């Protein structure tokens, strides 16, 4: 068997640190033991730390979408009116889930590639002040933007609405302060900034959101947040209502301990540096960024209108250089490619990716000055490292 050197530059699932992968190779304890529940306690404490909350969080055996669905079903009832800020494929998913469960969905449509405009949101909230919930996303992975959750929290916090945030690709990589920013419900996913394979979601709720648990009239069983919180809080050591993904939760504890050891501010600064370097390189190569402001430091979306064929770039990077980036989703399918710089990535991963991108562009006949992207990325990295 041939071993292939791979580099994962996708915005999730991300590369897993070898130390975390090694945890999965150990026989884990049974989940009803003190040993496992102590490990779960540590993992949940670290999760609260990266999410910026003093309040309990619960793990779910689900991908991120399962955590989103759990928020909709456990906190809302059919017929309730909610507002969804739709700025890409994932924020649109909130609307789809809410509609599937009979909520009346109002949309604040935002041009894909732009963040939510706070003035427009404020106007929408002034016109209609009884939304049961406002749903948004921290890092819209499909377009490469970051929303101003702090600003959104200032607008929604004083209203009776719950502010529900998809933090799936952002948390662990971008600043997020759930309590300080008045976020009522947040969803986290394992396979992005938290550097764990896919399969675990986690949800945090504010006291305001906790009051809704048990009142919501949607059908829910496996993903019941009421059951999950009860199990986490029933005893001194947390528990789960069903068999948890033991191995993934042990890996979560390992990766989160590594993030804590690096320091949260340092982790955010690393992502900011990698995002900045990638954007500088893309511009230096004469390519166009999809976003013009509110750039997410999780992923960079490159607009291929009038540029290289997005699908060919993705394929050639993978086939010729072993580098996984991804194309567009939804209405951006075929129109963009996206370079992830989230999780277990460093400066040299970005340099390698940009170097390979230059060679791919040249092969595809796109006019590039060899080294221009790498030089711009290096300059940005050196400036940020000081």
Question: Which positions touch ligand PLP (CB under 6 A)?
Answer: 12, 63-65, 90, 137, 139, 141, 166, 168-169, 189, 198
d(CA 222, CA 70): 9
Q: Minimum distance from CB of 373 to ligand PLP (Å)?
A: 25
Whole-number minimum distance, CB 67 to ligand PLP, in Å? 8
Give the nearest residue (CB) to ligand PLP: 64
Report angle CA 256, 350, 329 to the nearest 5 degrees. Answer: 80
Nearer to ligand PLP, 113 or 308 (CB): 113
Strand order in the sheet with 133-137: 57-61, 200-205, 185-189, 162-166, 133-137, 81-86, 104-109
Q: What is the dihedral angle through the alpha carbons of 151, 163, 295, 115, rounded to the nearest 10 degrees?
A: -80
Nearest-approach distance from CB 299 to ligand PLP, in angstroms: 8
Closer CB to ligand PLP, residue 16 or residue 374?
16
| Phi, psi for 370 (deg, rounded to 5) | -55, 130
CB of 160 to ligand PLP, least distance (A): 26
Instruction: Give the residue with the Cβ less far from ligand PLP, 97 or 285.
Output: 97
Burial of 226-235, coded b for 16+ CB within 10 Å and e otherwise, reads bbbbebbeee
Q: Which is nearer to ligand PLP, 50 or 280 (CB)?
A: 50
Residue closer to ligand PLP, measured from CB, 64 or 275: 64
Closest approach of ligand PLP to the CB of residue 335, in Å: 18
Ramachandran class of 182: left when φ > 0, alpha when ψ lies in -120 to 50, beta otherwise: left
DSSP state of 171: B
Nearer to ligand PLP, 12 or 343 (CB): 12
Phi-psi region of 114 (alpha: psi -120 to 50; beta: other; left: phi over 0): beta
CB of 18 to ligand PLP, least distance (A): 23
């Amino acid at each position: 068997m041939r071993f292939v050197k791979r580099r994962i530059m996708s915005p999730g699932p991300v590369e897993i640190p070898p130390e975390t992968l090694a945890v999965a190779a150990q026989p884990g304890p049974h989940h009803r033991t003190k040993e496992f529940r102590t490990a779960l306690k540590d993992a949940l404490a670290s999760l609260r730390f990266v999410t910026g909350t003093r309040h309990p969080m619960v793990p779910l055996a689900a991908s991120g979408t399962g955590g989103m669905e759990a928020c909709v079903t456990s906190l809302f009832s059919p017929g309730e009116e909610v507002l969804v800020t739709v700025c890409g494929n994932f924020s649109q998913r909130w609307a789809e889930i809410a509609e599937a469960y009979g909520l009346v969905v109002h949309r604040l449509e935002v041009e894909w590639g732009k963040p939510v405009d706070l003035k427009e949101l404020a106007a929408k909230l002034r016109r209609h002040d009884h939304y049961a919930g406002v749903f948004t996303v921290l890092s819209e992975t499909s377009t490469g933007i970051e929303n101003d959750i702090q600003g959104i929290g200032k607008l929604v916090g004083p209203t009776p609405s719950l502010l529900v945030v998809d933090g799936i690709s952002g948390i662990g990589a971008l600043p997020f302060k759930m309590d300080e920013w008045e976020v009522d419900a947040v969803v986290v996913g394992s396979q992005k900034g938290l550097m764990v394979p896919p399969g675990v979601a986690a949800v945090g709720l504010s006291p305001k959101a906790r009051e809704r648990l048990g009142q919501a009239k949607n059908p829910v069983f496996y993903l019941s947040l009421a059951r999950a919180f009860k199990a986490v809080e029933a005893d001194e050591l947390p528990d789960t209502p069903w068999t948890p993904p033991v191995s993934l939760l042990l890996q979560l504890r390992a990766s989160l301990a590594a993030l804590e050891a690096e320091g949260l501010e340092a982790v955010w600064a690393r992502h900011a540096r990698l995002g900045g370097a990638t954007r500088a390189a893309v511009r230096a190569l004469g390519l166009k960024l999809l976003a013009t402001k509110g750039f997410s430091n999780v992923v960079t979306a490159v607009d291929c209108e009038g540029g290289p064929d997005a699908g060919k770039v993705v394929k050639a990077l993978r086939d010729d250089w072993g580098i996984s980036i991804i194309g567009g989703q939804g209405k951006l399918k075929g129109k963009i490619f996206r370079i992830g710089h989230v999780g277990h990535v460093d400066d040299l991963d970005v340099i390698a990716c940009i170097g390979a991108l230059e060679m791919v562009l040249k092969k595809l006949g796109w006019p590039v000055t060899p080294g221009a992207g790498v030089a711009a990325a290096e300059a940005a990295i050196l400036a940020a490292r000081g």
